[in-house]
Amino acid sequence: MKPPLLEITDLSVAYQTDTGPVMALRGANLVARAGEVIGIVGESGCGKSTLAAAVMNLLPATAKVTGGAVRFLGQDILTLAPQAQRALRGTAMAMIFQDPMTAFNPVLTIGDHLVDFQHQSRAPYRAKLARARDQLALVGLSDPDVILRRYPHQLSGGMRQRVAIAAALLMNPQVLVADEPTTALDVTTEAQILHLLRNLRQTYQGTIVVISHHLGVVAELCDRVYVMYAGQVVEQAMVDDLFHAARHPYTRALLACDPASFPNLTPVLPTIPGRLPDLRDPPKGCSFAPRCALRSARCTVAPPWAQVSPSHGVLCHEVGA
């Protein structure tokens, strides 16, 4: 069997801080095959952006990979020479960032950016510019020639995010990582960008990894979802299973808190009691246990990963197996 396009095994990442290392990722696993759209959900601080950065090899200098591997087509990219890592970025894998307002350099035009981003191609300048123009048209920008000459601040947030998507697709990457692609946008623009990303699925052959704290976005776009909590993947399921047959108590609690799921107005929005564990000193047992309604004596021991079906796994003593 062909190796999966992207495979993250047992990845652990710690950020060095003045008060000691913060274990942002603790043995995260993820598999993505060509053509799949993967969702990663979880609340702020659960490690989903660290995971995205690790895939792109863009971890900040304070972050250290303490274990595990990120394999692209079977090859561990974390052990590649910096030059080889760089060669993958932009060509084999590309990223769409959260904040389109600051994602572009204010003194360069959109055209400058889009041509620069094709630096690994040997095509002449004019060909690159033409390619940039085609991509802009593809993401639904009506006047690509004008956009190419514009500076980032002259475009709206939605237009900039379209440009960001066009930029990410310039070199036909096999892996596209979208880190909170709609979080910084207003609701109307968000709907347009979601629509665009969904249309993209028809033509794009590679894998898309969508990171979001927004369950609606994940439901709209993804085939398969990973739910993260405190640096670990706690549940993995097909999107329908996740929304209709979630097993992990955290996933259930998260779904119960989604305002979109309430048919009527409620006087008080439900929340998950308690808070995230301190990742400088992560709990020995199940990290969700202190906030969990189902916890029992065995939750003080780290739970095993259990497959409840071939496509549905969960990290829990109580509901697994």
11 is an interface residue for another protein by CB under 8 A: no
Per-residue interface string for the shown chain with another protein, residues 30-59, x marking contact by CB under 8 A: --------------------------x-x-
What are residue 167's phi and psi, to 5 degrees? Answer: -60, -45
Q: Cα separations (Å) of 230 from 30, 225, 264?
A: 16, 16, 31
Sheet holding 224-229, edge to edge: 93-96, 175-179, 207-212, 37-41, 224-229, 232-238, 312-315, 305-309
Chosen residue from 15, 97, 229, 288 binding another protein by CB under 8 A: 97
What distances in angstroms separate CA 122 from CA 25, 132, 170, one per listed residue?
38, 15, 14
Under 8 Å between Cβ of 38 and 207? yes
Among 43, 75, 116, 213, binds another protein (CB under 8 A): 116
Least distance in angstroms from the C-beta of 86 to another protein: 5
Q: What are phi and psi of 51, to 5 degrees?
A: -60, -45
Integer Cα distance of 141 and 155 in angstroms: 11
119 lies in the site for another protein, by CB under 8 A: yes
Residue 49 CB, nearest approach to another protein (Å): 12
Q: Which stretch binds another protein (CB under 8 A): 31-39, 105-113, 207-215, 237-245?
A: 105-113
Scanning 20-28, 102-110, 196-204, 258-266 for contacts with another protein by CB under 8 A, the matching segment is 102-110
90 binds another protein (CB under 8 A): yes
Instruction: For the chain, count helices (H), then strands (E).
Output: 10, 12
- Phi–psi pair at 43, nearest 5 degrees: -80, 175
Spatial contact of 299 and 291, defined as CB atoms under 8 Å apart: no
Contact criterion met (CB below 8 Å) for 271 and 257? yes
Q: Are 123 and 130 in contact (CB under 8 A)?
A: no
Report, in Å, the least distance between residue 301 CB and another protein: 39
Range 75-88 burial, b when 16+ CB lie within 10 A, else e: eebbebeeeeeeeb
Residue 13 C-beta: closest distance to another protein, Å: 17
**Least Å distance between CB 276 and another protein?**
25
Total chain residues near another protein (CB under 8 A): 27
State the minimum distance, in angstroms, from the CB of residue 202 to another protein.
25
Of residues 29, 49, 71, 99, which one binds another protein by CB under 8 A? 99
Q: Does 263 bind another protein (CB under 8 A)?
A: no
287 to 49, 250, 297: CA distances (angstroms):
19, 10, 14
- Binding to another protein by CB under 8 A, coded x per residue (else -) over 60-89, reads --------------------------xxxx
Nearest approach in angstroms of CB 79 to another protein is 18
CB of 288 to another protein, least distance (A): 31
d(CA 247, CA 198): 27
Closest to another protein by CB, 113 vs 317, is: 113
Minimum CB distance to another protein smaller for 154 or for 307: 154
- Give the nearest distance from C-beta 23 to another protein in angstroms: 23
Are the CB atoms for 25 and 54 separated by under 8 Å? Answer: yes
Residues 140-159 that bind another protein (CB under 8 A): 151, 153-154
Residues forming contacts to another protein in the complex (CB under 8 A) are 56, 58, 86-91, 94-95, 97, 99, 102-108, 116-117, 119-120, 151, 153-154, 167
